[in-house]
Amino acid sequence: MLSGMNIFTMEPMVPEEAAHGLEDCAVTLIAEANRLAGRIHPILQESVGTLVRSMNCYYSNLIEGHDTHPRDIDRALADDFSVEPRKRELQQEAVAHIHVQRLIDEGRDPDIWPATADYAAWLHREFCTRLPPEMLWVGNPDTGERLPVIPGEWRDRQVIVGRHMPPDPDDLPRFLDRFDRAYAAPPLSRLRQIQTVGAVHHRFLWVHPFIDGNGRVARLMSHALLKRLGIGASLWSVARGLAREEARYKNLLMQADGPREGDRDGRGNLTQRGLMAFCQFFLDSAIDQVRYMGELLDPETLLRRIEIHVEDEVRAKTLPKGSYMVLREAALAGEVERGRVPMLTGYEERAARKVTSALLDRGMLTSTSHRASLRLGFPADVAERWFPRLYPAGIGRPT
């Protein structure tokens, strides 16, 4: 029995301060994130955020073993759900995830520090209350018993995660209190907090407070924490990096569960070396994703990809001539007034309206009403052309 487990079994909580590699990575991440945010028009950032939330959802689902095609996510966001029960459930799961991340991105999450038990409970509750009832059950692999998943509630029974046995349910309040005290904003500096985001991610999973949904909550918590630290944004997601190296991600998580290995491996019960290795991997993944999105969103190269794609569509007679100039204006200016479309295309008003309608029908432009300005849209069926390698090869193409 682990009831009464000493909370020091979770130590160390933060990577040691002498880790110059982590400090260098944190400084690099700040610089790269600032550079990315500074090169994208604020209005365009909102449109890109919609795409990135869908992408983040896709990759987070993939880590959980739920492969939801980006086109199915797009359909679900448009209230077009499959009649096939399992596919529909996965679509509903995707909508729930995107809803929670949108609240974070738009600053509508609770005004509490993300690396806390209370924030984790909010994430879990906000996500799970939007799931279909069929997904709020988890099976016990040993007994076959079906256990209910109660939104926002800590688990009430012991679990085993791989080779790791998390704290007993009765001990969760003490361990979560230690989690809160270790990662509360003061006394750590901003630079140290950035170095510690990976540790927050791991130690939350080590405690494993929910009967199900801990991985998703940990990734959403990391997203929120990076945003509060002033480097995270709707323009990029670390989840893509974690999913693209899923085996390494899970292996390093498992290694960080291990016990201290000798006098040179820190002073806590758990391995300091393993914790630092995971923190390094986490920051490296974040830097890689910021740089990747920076390359994709470089205005000149993005416009060239859009132009090549639209030229192909015009030749195939699936888009009217003049479409590219409207999309180009939306990319550069953030949005296009409808009255400018005739001038941009060189068409009379009626023909210009056909261009607008065609781009709206394809989702390449979006608008909140039939009179509102036009903004770029990024539907799944163009993502592969405009954003190469955003998804695994071929996944963004029509099925």
Could you list the active site residues? Answer: 208
251 is in an annotated binding site: no
Residues 6+ apart with CB under 8 A from 370: none
Identity of residue 330: A
**Is 215 labelled as part of a ligand binding site?**
yes
Of how many residues is the chain composed? Answer: 399
On whether the CB atoms of residues 229 and 190 are closer than 8 A, the answer is yes
376: β partners = 365
Establish whether the linkage from the previous residue to 187 is cis, with ω within 30° of 0. Answer: yes
Flag whether 316 is marked binding. no
DSSP string, 48-90: HHHHHHHHHHHHHHHHTT----HHHHHHHHTT---SSHHHHHH
Q: CA separation (Å) from 399 to 68, 316, 381?
A: 13, 19, 9
Instruction: Identify the three-state secondary structure at position 321.
Output: coil
Q: Is 72 annotated as a binding residue?
A: no
- Burial group, residue 376, by CB count within 10 angstroms (0-12, 13-18, 19+): buried
**Residue 67 is assigned to a ligand binding site:** no
Check: CB of residue 191 under 8 Å from CB of residue 24. no
- The answer to whether residues 181 and 214 touch, using CB atoms and an 8 Å cutoff, is no
Q: Is 382 annotated as a binding residue?
A: no
For residue 137, what are the β-bridge partners?
148
Q: Is 213 annotated as a binding residue?
A: yes
Q: Are 57 and 97 in contact (CB under 8 A)?
A: yes
Report the distance separating Cα 19 and Cα 15, nearest Å. Answer: 7
Q: Which of 282, 270, 135 is nearest to 211 (CA)?
A: 135
Q: Is 161 annotated as a binding residue?
A: yes
Residue whose pair of structure tokens reads 């729930």 in the numeric block: 96
Q: Is 214 assigned to a binding site?
A: yes
Phi, psi of 40 (to 5 degrees): -110, 130
Q: Binding-site residues, please?
A: 161-164, 212-219
Q: Binding-site residues for ATP, please?
A: 161-164, 212-219
